[in-house]
């Protein structure tokens, strides 16, 4: 599989090129640790990197340095441009206050990105250069091809970005919309925004637990804090990432722009007064959603549930079978058996007894959930939780609409009294829940792992409807597909099952 053109994916490994050599690598991280294994099989070389941080770009940064020191090869001679030509290119590109710099030292060009080491630019044609030390797929191109350069195009696997030269005579024709008059109060930013090329209000700036955060689906929240220059830092991102606000002539905020090394991305503010005129209220939508899955009366007839499922960890080449027991009002347990190539490789046991939640697997020590993870477990194990959108929540509101797999859906934002906020998407046609976006908080740090759940194949069992297929997507595991094979209601479930179990 070759999604970017410069990096491929083999089962369990990422495959990429460095100076014509095939590199096989894969990294991993967990709270407080980050690692990388990288090899060049044809040279019988490899290295392992271990760090004591939760996430780090160090692996990708040092790979080319290590390879160039281990593999001594003659470098192809790069043609050098005359000094006068280099001076026409040298300068700063990007936006005021946050720009990359191209400078001349000793007859060579260097690209200086804030927070990174300088990259020597090797000339490889016209006004195009290759940053030494970076893998194939990265480059720098300056335009126009004659005279003073007005724009730098950063060529990179994840997509090229064009940065205008600061102070160039024709800068105005290439510059992205700039932002001025940033607000002094971060609370002025609170609202909903649409990403470039979209009309859906998917980006949200909101206040939670005393912090104002910038929220993009599938990413962790970024805490906003005012800086001296009027912009806003986006913690935990480095200083090369920051946010500005743009106002109209009346002083009203019309958009926010996020500046990062790849360029500037503008998000237009949604008129919430228009959105308030939604064609359905939260109470009406909740009523229709409960009716769609069988109605409150039928759900209240059920007090226990046992579900058997087949699991496919698509990107790991691993399958599993699970059995889950649930009992009103708030208890559950799940037994998992993992298989690869037809052989059992691991087993797991998770339970929540109404107050304590534990996850245990044969390949990792048992973890007792605490903090927000425990709060989230309490929410998830409320047997009749879907029937009540008030008791456990500070706020529930319809925050927009979008399409989910081609189907029009309402977006409903939930802010629990205790636990992590999440969004659910309800079909405008069937009123069934078809998607959920949320975060798994860490028990040991402030990091949060985003997840997206897709629900489909609803079937009626004992008067209620359940989604027989669920796809759980996370950045670390990719897609995990769960397919229900058996559902039994009101079976005898002993409370003793909701406790610790010795794994084999």
Burial 405-422 (b: 16+ CB within 10 A, else e): eeeebbbbbbebeebbbb
Q: In the chain, what is the straight-line distance between the N-terminal and C-terminal CA atoms, in Å?
A: 36
pLDDT value at position 496? 95
The residues pairing with 322 across neighbouring beta strands, listed in sequence order, are 309, 336
pLDDT value at position 108? 87
Beta strands in 113-210 (DSSP E): 119-123, 128-131, 139-143, 151-155, 161-164, 191-194, 203-208
CATH number for 282-497: choose from 3.40.50.800, 1.10.3720.10, 3.10.580.10, 2.50.20.10.
Answer: 2.50.20.10
pLDDT value at position 1? 46
pLDDT value at position 399? 85
SS3 assignment, position 491: coil
The residues pairing with 8 across neighbouring beta strands, listed in sequence order, are 15
pLDDT in tens, the chain (504 residues): 444 455 555 567 888 877 778 889 888 777 667 788 999 999 899 999 887 765 566 677 778 888 888 887 655 555 678 888 888 899 998 876 667 899 988 888 899 887 777 888 988 878 889 888 777 778 899 988 888 888 998 887 666 788 888 876 544 433 333 444 444 578 889 888 887 766 565 788 988 777 899 988 767 788 998 887 778 889 888 888 899 888 887 778 888 989 888 778 888 888 765 444 567 899 999 999 999 999 999 999 999 999 999 999 998 889 999 999 999 999 999 999 999 988 999 999 999 999 999 999 998 888 999 988 999 999 999 999 999 999 999 999 998 888 999 999 999 999 999 999 999 999 999 999 999 999 888 765 566 788 999 999 999 999 999 999 999 998 888 899 999 999 999 999 999 999 999 998
Euclidean distance between CA atoms 182 and 191, whole angstroms? 15
pLDDT value at position 173? 38
Tokens of 495: 């409370």
Euclidean distance between CA atoms 417 and 177, whole angstroms? 39
- DSSP state letter for 499: S
User: Are the beta carbons of 377 and 352 closer than 8 angstroms?
Assistant: yes
Q: What is the pTM of this model?
A: 0.58
pLDDT value at position 246? 87
- What HEC string does 362-420 produce? CCEEEEECCHHHHHHHHHHCCCCHHHCCCCCEEEEEEEEEEEECCEEEEEEEEEECCCC
Euclidean distance between CA atoms 464 and 462, whole angstroms? 6
SS3 assignment, position 120: strand
Euclidean distance between CA atoms 17 and 15, whole angstroms? 7
Tokens of 354: 């109404």
In CATH, the architecture of 186-274 is Beta Barrel (2.40)
Q: How many residues does the chain have?
A: 504
Fold designation for 83-174: Lipocalin (2.40.128)
């Amino acid at each position: 599989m070759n999604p970017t053109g410069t990096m491929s994916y083999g089962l369990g490994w990422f495959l990429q090129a460095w100076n014509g050599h095939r590199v096989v690598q894969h990294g991993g991280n967990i709270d407080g640790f980050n690692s990388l294994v990288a090899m060049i099989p044809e040279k019988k070389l490899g290295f392992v990197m271990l760090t004591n941080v939760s996430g780090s770009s160090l692996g990708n940064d040092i790979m080319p340095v290590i390879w160039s020191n281990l593999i001594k090869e003659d470098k192809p001679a790069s043609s050098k441009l005359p000094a006068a030509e280099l001076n026409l290119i040298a300068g700063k590109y990007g936006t005021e206050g946050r720009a990359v710099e191209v400078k001349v030292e000793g007859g060579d060009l260097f690209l200086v990105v804030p927070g990174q080491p300088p990259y020597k630019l090797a000339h490889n044609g016209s006004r195009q250069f290759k940053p030494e030390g970076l893998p194939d797929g990265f480059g720098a191109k300056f335009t126009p091809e004659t005279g003073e350069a007005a724009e730098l195009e950063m060529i990179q696997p994840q997509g090229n970005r064009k940065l205008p030269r600061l102070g160039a005579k024709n800068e105005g024709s290439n510059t992205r919309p700039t932002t001025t008059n940033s607000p002094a109060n971060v609370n002025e930013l609170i609202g909903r925004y649409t990403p470039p090329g979209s009309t859906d209000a998917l980006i949200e700036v909101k206040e939670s637990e005393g912090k104002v955060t910038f929220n993009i689906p599938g990413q962790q929240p970024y805490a906003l804090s005012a800086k001296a220059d009027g912009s806003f830092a986006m913690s935990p991102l480095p200083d090369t990432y920051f946010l500005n606000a743009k106002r109209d002539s009346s002083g009203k905020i019309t958009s926010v722009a996020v500046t990062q090394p790849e360029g500037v991305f503008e998000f237009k503010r949604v008129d919430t007064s228009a959105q308030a005129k939604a064609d359905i209220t939260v109470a009406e939508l909740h009523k229709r959603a409960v009716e769609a899955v069988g109605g409150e009366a039928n759900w209240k007839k059920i007090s226990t549930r046992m579900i058997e499922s087949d699991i496919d960890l698509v990107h790991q080449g691993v399958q599993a079978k699970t059995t889950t027991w649930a009992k009103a009002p708030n208890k559950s347990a799940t037994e998992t058996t993992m298989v690869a190539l037809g052989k059992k490789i691991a087993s797991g046991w998770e339970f929540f007894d109404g107050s304590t939640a534990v996850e245990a697997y044969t390949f990792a020590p048992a973890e007792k959930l605490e903090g927000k993870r425990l709060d989230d477990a309490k929410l998830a194990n409320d047997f009749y939780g879907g029937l009540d959108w008030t008791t456990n929540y500070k706020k529930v509101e319809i925050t927009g609409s979008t399409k989910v797999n081609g189907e029009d859906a309402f977006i409903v934002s939930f802010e629990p009294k205790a636990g992590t906020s999440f969004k659910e998407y309800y079909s405008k046609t069937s009123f069934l829940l078809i998607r959920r976006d949320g975060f798994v908080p860490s028990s040991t740090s402030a990091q949060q792992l985003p997840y997206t759940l897709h629900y489909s194949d609803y079937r009626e069992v004992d008067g209620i409807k359940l989604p027989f297929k669920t796809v759980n997507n996370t950045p670390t595991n990719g897609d995990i597909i769960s397919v229900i094979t058996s559902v039994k209601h009101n079976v005898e479930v002993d409370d003793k099952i909701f406790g610790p179990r010795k794994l084999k």
